[in-house]
Amino acid sequence: MDILDKIRASSKHYAHDIIKIRRLIHQYPELSFQEFKTSKYIYETLKSLKLDSVIKFPPTGVVALLNYDGSSHKKCVGLRADIDALPLTERTDLPFESKNPGIMHACGHDAHTAMLLGAAMILSDLIKELTGCVKFIFQPGEEKNPGGASILIKHGVLKNPGVDVIFGQHLLPNITAGKFGFCPGIMMASQDEIYITVIGKSGHASQPHKAIDPIVVASQVVLAIQNISSRYTNPYEPLTISIGKIEGGSATNIIPQEVKLSGTVRALNSKHRKKTLGLIERTVKGITSSAGAKYKFEISHGYPELVNDKNITSFSSTAAVEYAGAKNVFISEKMMTAEDFSYYLKRIPGTFYWIGAGNTTGLHTPTLNIDESILPYGAGFMAYLAWKYLEGYSK
């Protein structure tokens, strides 16, 4: 029996357990950096396996090592899953629907976690087949700045032992269950949050000439910053500027003192990213100044663009063809979504890839409902990737 047959057999053996794990995590979702019960469950599950160590990483991360004897000469593969959920009320009517009001695993992190735990189960049984070390990284806070990846890196997650390469996967809705998508080079955008406060002068709605209306000024700001992408940006350089939240006013007959705008800026180029943020502030300054208003402009810098190592991505897509067949492997397009997996890829080679989730609504929607057959299947592929790299990766 070759390694693929062994991995497939093990995936089938653990299929029920992996699906059960996903459903349990799905029922009790927790927000970014508050994944205390999820983290405890992951830790206890890992402790029950044949692993060399299971370590808690602040604030709520868990990292486990397999086939590590303290030697610095062995290769080490990192496999990563994110564990946090979103502030969203679930509407799936599943028997294992979220029991935590207003919180849902609407981005598939429950599935990512279950698949990585499944990979740990499979590789634990096949430890004699491994020629190096595997580091399983269960990461909190992917959905919230500054990103759990950046925090775990600061705490040394890529050291002791040093990780040579890292792999991560993400569900992709409305792609046939079990298909794998790879994107060499730039795959996802950078992501920054902007917070704009327009400060006017309050007054009675019947006397607008005695006030400085921040609602009118803020409206002009929202429209004007859209011109940055349509008139100040190279059309071959993807860029999105979206205002997702507006706060201001208390009554129909009162001109308020201030209005707050919150939004996100996404780009595929670091220089373009920096230039755009400067243009936004310049636009806000110009409009508020012309209206006699004032402003505050704050940036919460988020994740850098995600850039996959081309050689590792080619290696991974070849492994996917071996595992799933050529018809189930595709080259994916770049997307304007963001992922803090990008922080790992700034430090070491690796790749982030898609796994089809079947016919369902999009990510971050209250009705996301994946095809659970991908859970043992995705776990098996992560295990195969780790084995194949350790067995003898070469450029």
Instruction: For residue 319, give its domain range.
Output: 3-188+305-392
Q: What is the pLDDT of residue 394?
A: 61
Q: Residue 215 maps to which CATH number?
A: 3.30.70.360
What is the distance, to the nearest Å, from the Cα of residue 57 to the centroid of all Cα atoms in its chain?
Answer: 18
Tell which phi-psi region holds residue 141, choosing left (phi > 0), alpha (psi between -120 and 50) or beta.
left
Three-state DSSP at 143 gives coil
List the alpha helices (DSSP H) in 28-142: 36-47, 109-125
Phi (first) and psi of residue 261, to 5 degrees: -120, 140
Phi-psi region of 76 (alpha: psi -120 to 50; beta: other; left: phi over 0): beta
Pairwise CA distance, residues 105 & 134, whole Å: 27
* Catalytic-labelled residue, pool 323, 353, 372, 389: 372
285 with 309, same domain: the answer is: no
Residues 289 and 225 in one domain: yes
Is residue 16 located within the same domain as residue 47?
Answer: yes
Q: Which tens digit of pLDDT belongs to each residue from 216-233?
A: 999 999 999 999 999 888
Which pLDDT value is given to residue 74? 85
The answer on 310 and 220 residing in a single domain is: no
- Helix-strand-coil split of the chain, %, nearest 5: 40, 25, 35
Note whether 376 and 233 are same-domain residues.
no
Residue 140 CA from chain centroid, whole number: 10
Same domain, 32 and 53: yes
Per-residue pLDDT tens digits for 257-283: 999 999 999 999 999 999 999 999 999
54 and 173 within one domain: yes
pTM of the model: 0.94
Residue 376's region, left for phi above 0, alpha for psi from -120 to 50, else beta, is: alpha
Can you give the pLDDT at residue 383?
A: 98
E strand spans, 34-176: 53-57, 61-66, 76-82, 133-139, 165-172
The pLDDT value recorded for residue 112 is: 98
Q: Of residues 43, 303, 323, 384, which has the active-site annotation?
A: 303
Whose CA is closest to 169, among 313, 304, 302, 70? Answer: 313
Cα 84 to the center of its chain, rounded Å: 10
Catalytic residue check, 393: no
One domain for residues 183 and 292 = no
42/15 Cα distance (integer angstroms):
17
Last residue of a domain, one of 244, 265, 300: 300
Residue 136's alpha-carbon distances to 19, 39, 48, 114, 124, in angstroms, are 19, 13, 14, 12, 12
**Which among 300, 333, 362 is the end of a domain?**
300
Q: Tokens 């390694």 — which residue?
A: 3
Helix (H/G/I), strand (E/B), else coil: 86 = strand
Domain of 143: which CATH number? 3.40.630.10
Question: What is the distance between the alpha carbons of residues 54 and 137, in angstroms, rounded to a whole number?
Answer: 10
The answer on 266 and 228 residing in a single domain is yes
207 class by beta-carbon count within 10 Å (0-12 exposed, 13-18 middle, 19+ buried): exposed
Below-50 pLDDT ranges, the chain: none
176 vs 328: CA distance, rounded Å: 9
- How many domains are there within the chain? 2
> CA 264, CA 115: separation in Å to the nearest integer?
30
Q: Are 264 and 164 part of one and the same domain?
A: no
> CA–CA separation, 59 vs 66, rounded Å?
22
Omega before 59 within 30 of 0, i.e. cis: yes
372 catalytic per annotation? yes
Q: Are residues 273 and 285 in the same domain?
A: yes
Virtual torsion, Cα 284, 289, 291, 294, nearest 10 deg: 80
Last residue of a domain, one of 265, 281, 300: 300
d(CA 372, CA 316): 23
Residues 357, 176 contacting (CB under 8 angstroms): no
- My answer on whether 46 and 90 are in the same domain is yes
Percent of the chain with pLDDT over 70: 99
